[in-house]
Amino acid sequence: MKNLKDIKIDIAQGKSPCYVYFLFFSNGIPFYVGKGIKDRISDHEAEARYFKNGKIWKGINKLKLNTINEIIESGDQVYYEIDSWHETSMQAGEKEIELIQSIGRLILGTGPLTNIRDGGDLLTEQDRKIVGDKIRQFYIDHPEVRKRISDKLKTFCEDHPEFIESLQKEKNRWIDENNEEYLEAERKRIAICRTESHRNKISEINKKYLAENPDELERLKKQGREHWINNPEARENNRQKSIDNKSHEHILKWLADDSEETILQKQEKYKKHAEWLTEWHQTEEGKEKTKQAAEKRNEKVRTEEHRKHMSEKTKEFVKNNKEADLKRRELVSITKEKTMQIKQQCLRILELHLIKNGKIKDNKRNISHNVLYEWRKSNLIPEFFPKYGGLPVWEKCLEDILKFTKDELEVEC
């Protein structure tokens, strides 16, 4: 084994144009096999420095470059050795393949070599798939390695923000130079992302992760709320994007769909939303937000501007929808009559209750506002129903009177 300076002397005195070589740890274990001509062997340490400074390029072997950087950062050095000389690149490639197969690659779990390819000049599609599957499986089987690498990368990126900037610049440069290739890749990626199987897979992964990490779920919720609250521009952009994409049309189409599958989807969606709302309204935050929203809404609807606006909208609707207006008037009339009947029924029950307890005499008239006024003026109701504090006035909504009748008289109208 030799250092870089000495190995370059050997190459300058080489017997043939092509050669196969090793990169070693200081303990004599090889971690890379390569082939090249001229000073190719000296490129590896230079590439490692470029990579450390944020440079990336097509065909980069990050595993090899990280290994070289770790060796140098530990205060050690990379050692080299020429295995054989060859007249042609093909002959050198065959020898490279032979050595890699006999020693074994780290990503396949068969040896210490950081080579991504099996050698030679091309990486076959089958080899790519095998390598990809092996790498994914390795990280699944060794989560501690994945976490260690992730932590190192996070620390490095935090300490070197210029590295992220350089990556983005390099990416943008590549996109500019390979625009058609990039667009084609994006189209394929988006097509995959839109498939039902892909969405279901991502959904299951996210559900599992958030179920195992409730703190992360709360963090994401809080982050999302703060983002929309503090970014009115983002809210407006999102609203405009929905308008441009005609999102409301898709929603209306979905709501109008009466197929069995869609009905089940709606029921499930409404159920989940109702459960979430119920749970949220019981929290302190939910109660406070609901109160604030109601106050804000009431403040707006009570303004003269809003009343005028709604009046104009109503007039316009009535003008353009005569039939709907007639139905509305008819419905209002029926509702008023029904409300009056129920009110009389409830108040008659109250009257009988007062008669039974000797508070008033039998009354054959309908109970009008004047009658209620007489009862309140005589202090009958506050005295008889101190817990409630008095009967709701005649103008109160039907729900209030029904509630009073049920709570105080224990009778349902």
pLDDT, tens digit (0-9, with 9 covering 90-100), for 111-124: 999 998 877 654 55
Partners of residue 79 on adjacent β-strands: 24
> Cα 232 to the chain's mean position, in Å?
20
User: Is 28 a member of any domain?
Assistant: yes
pLDDT, tens digit, for every residue of 55-98?
777 778 888 999 999 999 999 999 999 999 988 888 888 899 99
Range of the domain at 337: 332-409
- Residues 231 and 239: their CA atoms lie apart, in Å, by 13
- Contact assessment for residue 47 and residue 59, using Cβ atoms and an 8 Å cutoff: no
| Angle ∠(42,47,48) on CA atoms, nearest 5 | 105
Domain finish residue from 68, 88, 123:
123
Instruction: Judge whether 67 lies within some domain.
Output: yes
Asked if the structure places residue 103 within a domain, the reply is yes
pTM of the model: 0.34
End of a domain among 123, 158, 192? 123
Evaluate whether residue 86 is within a structural domain: yes
**Lowest model confidence (mean pLDDT) among 199-203, 313-317, 406-410:** 406-410
pLDDT at 131 over 80: no
Residue 8 lies in a domain: yes
Asked which of 94, 123, 152 is the last residue of a domain, the reply is 123
Residues composing the chain: 413
283: pLDDT strictly greater than 80: yes
**In this model, does residue 313 exceed pLDDT 70?**
yes
The dihedral of CA 68, 72, 75, 81: what is its sign? positive
Averaged over 41-68, what is the pLDDT? 86
- Residue among 124, 143, 23 at smallest CA distance from 77: 23
Residue 121 contacts residue 89 (beta carbons within 8 Å): yes
173-194 pLDDT tens trace: 888 888 888 888 888 888 888 8
In a domain, 115, yes or no: yes
Instruction: Identify whether 170 is part of a domain.
Output: no
Q: What is the mean pLDDT of the chain?
A: 81
Mean pLDDT of the region 198-212:
88
Per the structure, how many domains does the chain have?
A: 2
pLDDT at 394 over 50: no
Domain assignment present for residue 401? The answer is: yes
